[in-house]
Amino acid sequence: MFGLLQRNRPVLLIFSGADRLQFEYQEKFVTPWRAALEKFAALLTVEVIPQANHVLGDPAWMAQARALTGRWLDQRFK
């Protein structure tokens, strides 16, 4: 991810709210790398779909992921 950010490439991360990976990302990546990540704050977008499971098993969760991705793409690559 730092390779993308250092090349001025935007990054979108979408997490499921009911998935432990969101918490692992915070604990194992954001916390230890906070200072390095701060300079890339404008390029890094993190979204969470509340209540969703890891595989976005509900069609509504998949629709939310598509909407978040579409909005992010529109904002970044008009």
pLDDT digits (tens, 9 = 90+) for 23-78: 999 999 999 999 999 999 999 999 999 999 999 999 999 999 999 999 999 999 98
The model's pTM is: 0.90
pLDDT at 78: 83
Q: How many helices (H) and strands (E) does the chain have?
A: 4, 2
pLDDT at 11: 97
Residue 19, pLDDT > 90, answer no
Return the residue matching tokens 């730092």.
Answer: 2
Contact between 46 and 13 under an 8 Å Cβ cutoff? The reply is yes
CA distance 65 to 52: 10
